[in-house]
Amino acid sequence: MQRSFERPQTLEQAIGLLEKHGDAARPLAGGTDLLVQMRAGLLRPAVLVDLKGIEELMSLELGADEVVIGAAHSTASLRENADLVALFPGLLEAAELIGSEQIQGRASLGGNLCNGSPAADTGPALAVVQAVCEIAGPNGRRTLPVAEFLTGPGATALGVGEILVSLRISRPPARAADAYLRFIPRTEMDIAVVGAGAWVRLEADGSCAEARLSLGAVGPTVLPVALDALVGGPIDDAALATAGEAASAAARPIDDKRGTIAYRRQVSGVLARRALRIAADRAAQRS
Amino acid sequence: MAEDRKYRWVGTRPIRHDGVDKVTGRANYGADFALPGMLWGKILRSPHAHARILRIDTSRAEAMEGVKAVATAADLPEQRPGGATDLSNNILARDKVLYHGHAVAAVAAITAEIAAQALDEIEIEYEALAPVLSLDAALADDAPILDTARRARGMDDTGPTNIAARVDFSRGEPDQAFASCDVVLERSYETQTVHQGYIEPHACVADTKADGLVEIWCSTQGTFTVRSLTADVLGLDKSRVKVTPSEIGGGFGGKTTVYLEPVAALLSRQSGRPVKMVMSRDEVFRATGPAAASRIELKVGATQQGQLVAATARLWMEAGAFPGSPVQAAAMTILAPYKLDHLFIEGFDVVVTKPKVAAYRAPGAPQAAFAMESLLDELAQQLKIDPIDLRLANAVAAGDQLPYGPRYKTIGMKETLEAARDHPHYSAPLGENQGRGIALGFWFNNGLNSSAEVYLTEDGTAVVVTGNPDIGGSRASMAILCAEELGIDVMKVRPIVADTETAGYTDVTGGSRVTFATGWAVVNACRVIIEDLRRRAAQIWECDLEQVAFDDGRCLPVEGSGLSHDPLSVAEIARKMGSTGGPINGQAQLSARGAGPGFATHLCDVEVDPETGHVDVIRYTAIQDAGRAIHPAYVEGQMQGGAVQGIGWALNEEYLFDDEGRMENASFLDYRMPVASDLPMIDTVIVEVPNPIHPYGVRGVGETPIVPPLAAVANAVKHASGVRMQSLPISPPRLLAALQEQAAE
Amino acid sequence: MTAVVIPNGLRAHCEGCARVEVEAVSVRGVLAALEARFPGFGAALGENVAVAIDGEVFQDPLYEAVAPESELHFLPALSGGR
């Protein structure tokens, strides 16, 4: 089969190529999912459109109000940015879990998101910091919250010719911080049995002002867990237990080779508690 | 006899002679080899775990442009009774497919892509049969029978059965003896199918010449084994097959047989061109030989003081599609380390519709030790005896009889237990949710046949030629032994691994035998050279041979001989080779006897997450009798590698099959071997109880270290969490379920 | 006389004996003596027999020497995980 490789230098060229070739084309960021799927014979795209020549997808901007992360910017490079790590430790925890050291030289937040895996580590981590997806396509630009960008296993809201350009995240307010935990039987090189992103904002008196929790790998897409019950009270063992129960109840896992329904439900609650505690501790340190 | 003397090179840690090539990425592995005009071979594999092959139509594939050969079992010669029938049927199924992934046909084409497309064009009609995916399923009264013509060996005629063989060993009257015991424990243990997990997939290039000679380049543990098995399957004389080994990226027993080589040679014969075949990871999991799943029912009786009195063990092991599980070795090892006056051991080799098992590091022993060492841990706890003391009190020593007859000679079992007891690890404090396990391991070790040639160069450096693919640093060991014998610098010795037409016959790299047996052949070859050097010195000095001694790389006059010559170094004599009788070569071969058994004691600390069932190995110490460590770094490497593989076996590794017998986790992503960050540094203590028969006291070390970890981990989990896991793996969902069950009780 | 220890599985072929004494100088001689005394024993034993002589295991033992005071054990020969 003939296969062509394109490396456009502008978004317009890339959009044009994707629009022209439709289903026969695949955008290529780090390729850490795409190339594996091609080698396994699951995908046989005729045209590969390498997006790494487009500056906007490779950029990283720490602005006064928001952080803009190019969709194809490598996770290894994100990790090396101490300011970014300090701002969103949870998001970087998630990024650090994607693949091995070598893979991370290629892997990107945008690529991980666009792959649409229900078990992706970036989904819950980006959802709790309310990241917004900046999308460019034949009809111009639009934005979508991460939670709406992910629509199901392997599916995203991207239309034909559309490209995820960047992720925009507001700088955290005072006394707020994120955290991400995932459960795998090993310590790395594995796929989440359960993933939990947490975000906590505290009042000056240490009580909970806002709490967000999103679960991965226990539903068709990122699963938000409502934590209204925590607001106004202290984030103590009782509150965390409540949050854990809410997470277990919200989880809608399947049985598969990576874990059973009962196991994933149980671990959803455990990770929810632990991630919220880490986020709350971090938030407290930011007072 | 082992000689007690001060060594210059033995026991040192020079860099490995093949190291630079490997760390710079230039070493050539199985898939690196290529020949001009080479074709790519691919294998069509069964989509059924158990089916009758009704019809194969390869015509459409053969007609494709770029396809140069298509092969099926019909192209292989019929095997004579007692011949390589099972092997032949395993590499290309004849009448039945017996596991999902079983090879059915093969194609060679000008590109790998065309070969893959051609596989889709091969039509096969199957009559699907019920799969047999567990011991229970295989042994059920109404079980589908894999081979209705087969009868169980070692049993009265059973009629058609999935039991391929039965073995037993007995001593005394165990049933009566149990009645006299203060305590009798009876437990059942299970382990699942696991894979060796070598990083390098099977790969080969075969070139069958116009005159029928076959040349093979491949990654294997045994070039002579590949030669022999390929010749058997193809019906050729062994001298018609030449095998050249590549570097090998792991084998652990899994590369001691053939899958691709005869098929590639067949496709090459049909096409008249060299054929290259490389397995994918998926194929390695689905269609090469894993280690056997097992069930062991074990009963042990003891006195209140901790004296073992009697034991009975019944073992069932899955052989996979064809007979040949390591159940005999398991039966021979399970009670081997302990003094028991009364015992009965019975083992069953059971066929199931899974890939045919292959050797995996001490085949059968890890499963057996998991049972025995778990039970002893429970016994120690029940009797309130320290688990090391319990084992010491019952440990075998020289003169004690093994369950299968022979008596032990000098062994280091007690020494490893004592080293464990005295190690700071054993008394280190433990935290919350942490526990410590200990377990012992025994393995026979093997000798078998080896050859070695040593060629002295004209400047007194040396080339050592052997036929064992270097899987664990053996080239360095061969060089050290040569340097020690000849008294020359170890880096001036070049150890090479030669093909089957260059090296003399040498058995497989396996059985922990290479440093022991092939090393011994190297020593003997060097001693041939030393005799020759003395003869040449006598010629130069015009004296009698008896007046010349050899010491530390020099010929010198025997003390009291009255001669006053300056010593002649190896290099000085080598420079005079032309005038003293010609080239200086040593050659030796042997069938090495007296491979002393290996014993190891492992200490394992774990921390259990009571909320998730996750087990974290936080400290691990492997202690083993190496006889004498020729290159301690590679002995330690073997101990660490074996420990890690055993930890993986204990914690997360298992083949998962769906109801149709299709493996669900045929990738390293979902077949969960440990990764480096999962583990602490594996500490090692080498104990040296020299093997009295070997010139350097060597015992094999490669296999023993995988024997103790399964039970060491399980025992540690018990002491950390209160739950005794008698079925592996101790994966988080299984452990959490057990913890919840315990909490509910 | 060399002592030969018969494993359970073979005792049916030697009138139930657990231990037999034979006069021989090699394993081949032991086998011949056993066959002479218990016709069919060799066939029951099969090919590729392994033995232990005085504690030493021999995989390919036909021509190994045995002494009058030797004790020989037959080991059941199964292919081990090849």
Instruction: Evaluate if residue C76 carries a pLDDT over 70.
Output: no
**Edge-to-edge strand ranges of the sheet holding B448-456:** B493-497, B462-466, B448-456, B585-592
Q: What is the pLDDT of residue A3?
A: 82
Cβ-Cβ pairs closer than 8 A, B with C, add up to: 73
Q: Which of B675, B734, B740 to mutate to test binding with chain A, by most A CBs within 10 Å of its CB?
A: B675
Pick the residue from chain C with its C-alpha nearest to B361.
C81
Q: Please indicate whether, in this complex, the C-beta atoms of B731 and A183 are within 8 angstroms of each other.
A: no
Chains C and B touch (3+ CB pairs under 8 A): yes
Task: Give A197's contacts (C-beta < 8 A, 6+ positions apart).
Answer: A90, A94, A123, A124, A125, A126, A127, A128, A129, A178, A179, A180, A212, A213, A214, A215, A216, A275
Amino acid identity of residue A9, one-letter, is: Q
Determine which helix (DSSP H) or strand (DSSP E) holds A226, and give its type and residue range. none
Pick the residue from chain B with its C-alpha nearest to A269.
B611
CA dist B315 and B166 (Å) reads 10
Amino acid identity of residue C51, one-letter, is: V
Gyration radius of chain C's alpha carbons: 12
Give me the residues of chain B with pLDDT under 50, please. 1
Here the tokens at position A252 are: 């809608």
Q: How many CA atoms lie within 13 A of A127 on its CB side?
A: 28
Domain ranges of chain C: 2-75
DSSP state, residue A256? B
Q: What are B296's strand-pairing partners?
A: B189, B315
Instruction: Give the number of other Cβ atoms within 10 Å of residue A130's Cβ.
Output: 14
Pick the residue from chain C with its C-alpha nearest to B360.
C81
Instruction: Give the number of other Cβ atoms within 10 Å of residue B150's Cβ.
Output: 18
**Edge-to-edge strand ranges of the sheet holding B615-625:** B434-443, B598-608, B615-625, B682-687
Which one of 3.40.50.920, 3.30.565.40, 1.10.3720.10, 3.10.20.30 gives the CATH number of domain C2-75? Answer: 3.10.20.30
Residues B391 and B299 grouped into a single domain:
yes
Taking a C-beta distance cutoff of 8 angstroms, is the pair B719, B378 a contact?
no
Q: What is the pLDDT of residue A115?
A: 95
Chains B and A touch (3+ CB pairs under 8 A): yes
In a domain, B162, yes or no: no
> What CATH number corresponds to the domain at position B545?
3.30.365.10
Residues B98 and B235 grouped into a single domain:
yes
Residues B298 and B271 grouped into a single domain:
no
Taking a C-beta distance cutoff of 8 angstroms, is the pair A264, A193 a contact?
yes
Residues B108 and B239 grouped into a single domain:
yes
Residues B465 and B528 grouped into a single domain:
yes
**Cis bond upstream, residue B729 (ω within 30):** yes
Model confidence at A1, pLDDT cuts 50, 70, 90, reads low
Taking a C-beta distance cutoff of 8 angstroms, is the pair B105, B70 a contact?
yes
Chain B residues lying within 8 Å of C50, measured CB to CB: none
CA dist B112 and B117 (Å) reads 9
Pick the residue from chain B with its C-alpha nearest to A265.
B612
Q: How many CA atoms lie within 13 A of A198 on its CB side?
A: 32
Interface list for B 293-332 with C (CB within 8 A): 323-329, 332
Instruction: Give the number of other Cβ atoms within 10 Å of residue A147's Cβ.
Output: 20
Whole-model pTM: value is 0.96
Q: What is the pLDDT of residue A41?
A: 83
Task: Give A229's contacts (C-beta < 8 A, 6+ positions apart).
Answer: A239, A242, A243, A246
Determine which helix (DSSP H) or strand (DSSP E) holds A224, and give its type and residue range. strand A223-225
Residues B733 and B602 grouped into a single domain:
yes
Q: What is the pLDDT of residue C81?
A: 33
Domains and CATH numbers, chain A: 4-49+56-170 (3.30.465.10), 176-285 (3.30.390.50)
B: neighbours with 3+ CB pairs under 8 Å? A, C
Q: Please indicate whether, in this complex, the C-beta atoms of B359 and C80 are within 8 angstroms of each other.
A: yes
Interface list for A 255-284 with B (CB within 8 A): 257-260, 262-263, 266-267, 270
**Is the CA virtual torsion B340, B344, B349, B352 positive or negative?**
negative
Q: Please indicate whether, in this complex, the C-beta atoms of C80 and B407 are within 8 angstroms of each other.
A: no
Taking a C-beta distance cutoff of 8 angstroms, is the pair B673, B197 a contact?
yes
Interface list for C 62-81 with B (CB within 8 A): 71, 73, 75-76, 78-81
Distance from CA of B384 to the nearest CA of C (A): 35
Quickly list DSSP for A36-62: HHHHTTS---SEEEE-TT-HHHH-EEE
CA dist A187 and B647 (Å) reads 14
Taking a C-beta distance cutoff of 8 angstroms, is the pair B353, B50 a contact?
yes
Pick the residue from chain B with its C-alpha nearest to C11.
B154
Chain A residues lying within 8 Å of B677, measured CB to CB: 186-188
> Which phi and psi angles does B33 have, rounded to 5°?
-80, 145
In a domain, B342, yes or no: yes
Distance from CA of C48 to the nearest CA of B (A): 11
Pick the residue from chain A with its C-alpha nearest to B648.
A186
Residues B568 and B428 grouped into a single domain:
no
Q: Please indicate whether, in this complex, the C-beta atoms of C80 and B408 are within 8 angstroms of each other.
A: no
- Tokens 């009868």 belong to B151
Residues B406 and B520 grouped into a single domain:
no
Q: Please indicate whether, in this complex, the C-beta atoms of B406 and C55 are within 8 angstroms of each other.
A: yes
Chain B residues lying within 8 Å of A260, measured CB to CB: 733
Go through B524-555 and write b for each residue having 16 or more CB atoms within 10 A of its CB, e for each that does not: bbbbbbbebbbbbbbbbbebeeebbebeebbb
Residues B637 and B735 grouped into a single domain:
yes
Beta strands B96-97 and B275-278 are unpaired
Q: Please indicate whether, in this complex, the C-beta atoms of C58 and B593 are within 8 angstroms of each other.
A: yes
Selecting from A41, A190, A263 the residue whose C-beta is nearest the C-beta of B733 gives A263
Interface list for B 677-736 with A (CB within 8 A): 677-678, 731-733, 736
CA dist B227 and B272 (Å) reads 20
Instruction: Evaluate if residue C82 carries a pLDDT over 50.
Output: no
Distance from CA of A32 to the nearest CA of B (A): 13
Distance from CA of B471 to the nearest CA of C (A): 18
CA dist B410 and B625 (Å) reads 11
Is B183 buried (19+), middle (13-18) or exposed (0-12) by CB count in 10 A? middle
Chain A residues lying within 8 Å of B113, measured CB to CB: 1
Q: What are A275's strand-pairing partners?
A: none
Q: Please indicate whether, in this complex, the C-beta atoms of A190 and B672 are within 8 angstroms of each other.
A: yes
Instruction: Give the number of other Cβ atoms within 10 Å of residue B167's Cβ.
Output: 26
Instruction: Evaluate if residue C48 carries a pLDDT over 80.
Output: no
Among B592, B619, B643, give the residue marking a domain's end: B592
In a domain, B379, yes or no: yes
Residues B633 and B698 grouped into a single domain:
yes
In a domain, B548, yes or no: yes
Among B537, B560, B592, give the residue marking a domain's end: B592
Q: Please indicate whether, in this complex, the C-beta atoms of A257 and B113 are within 8 angstroms of each other.
A: no
The total number of structural domains that make up chain B: 3
Taking a C-beta distance cutoff of 8 angstroms, is the pair A141, A113 a contact?
no
Q: What is the pLDDT of residue C80?
A: 37
Q: Which domain holds residue B117?
A: 33-129+200-249+255-287
CA dist B494 and B476 (Å) reads 9
CA dist A205 and A203 (Å) reads 5
Given CB atoms, is B566 within the 8 Å cutoff of chain A? no
Selecting from B282, B611, B677 the residue whose C-beta is nearest the C-beta of A270 gives B611
Distance from CA of B733 to the nearest CA of A (A): 6
Q: Please indicate whether, in this complex, the C-beta atoms of C82 and B448 are within 8 angstroms of each other.
A: no
CA dist B503 and B510 (Å) reads 17
Q: Please indicate whether, in this complex, the C-beta atoms of B256 and C60 are within 8 angstroms of each other.
A: no
Here the tokens at position B106 are: 């093969």
- Tokens 């015991």 belong to B181
Given CB atoms, is A210 within the 8 Å cutoff of chain B? no
Selecting from C73, C78, C81 the residue whose C-beta is nearest the C-beta of B359 gives C81
Determine which helix (DSSP H) or strand (DSSP E) holds B691, and give its type and residue range. none
CA dist A162 and A134 (Å) reads 10
- Averaged pLDDT for residues C41-65: 83
Q: What is the pLDDT of residue B329?
A: 94
Distance from CA of A158 to the nearest CA of B (A): 28
Interface list for B 206-265 with C (CB within 8 A): 253, 256-257
Q: Please indicate whether, in this complex, the C-beta atoms of A186 and B611 are within 8 angstroms of each other.
A: no
Q: Which of B283, B653, B736 to mutate to test binding with chain A, by most A CBs within 10 Å of its CB?
A: B736
